[in-house]
Amino acid sequence: MTLPKQMKPLIECRREYMVILNNPIKKSLSVLLAIAFVALSNGAVFAMDTPTIKIYGVAIKGYDPVAYFTEHRAVKGKSDYFHDWNEASWYFSTPEHRDLFAANPQKYAPKHGGF
């Protein structure tokens, strides 16, 4: 039985792969490279726990970010009570909310850029 011409490269590739796996040194090297790849890729994922996202202009369309936590609803902020952080102006409905945000912006700012 003769094989079609399209099958010959696949068979040669499989033979080459089997030669690599039959060689103990090459097999060990392949396993070590696979382990290193998995270890390094997982480390890269853990290193990127919080992305740095810049917001320009008025943040979250002028709504008070602290009100979402204290009043559990969206409250429009006032330009009289603002705080500049992360290259944006954040508006608040009360000066107390502004001071809470200024003390800990990461707690009240939207996560992942507000998405």
pLDDT digits (tens, 9 = 90+) for 13-69: 656 655 555 677 777 877 888 888 887 776 655 555 555 556 678 999 999 999 999
Q: What are phi and psi of 36, to 5 degrees?
A: -60, -40
Angle at CA of residue 87, ends 58 and 104, nearest 5°: 90
Q: Tell me the residue ranges of DSSP E strands in 15-72.
A: 57-58
The pLDDT, as a whole number, for residue 101 is: 97
Q: Where are the domains of the chain?
A: 7-47, 57-114
Instruction: Please give the Cα distance from 12 to 64 (Å, whole number).
Output: 66
Percent of the chain with pLDDT over 70: 65
SS3 35: helix
Angle at CA of residue 58, ends 97 and 60, nearest 5°: 65
Range 8-15 average pLDDT: 61
Reply yes or no on whether the pLDDT at 115 is more than 50. no
- pLDDT tens-digit readout, 101-112: 999 999 999 887
The pLDDT, as a whole number, for residue 107 is: 93
Range 79-96 average pLDDT: 94
**Residue labelled with tokens 């939207």:** 110
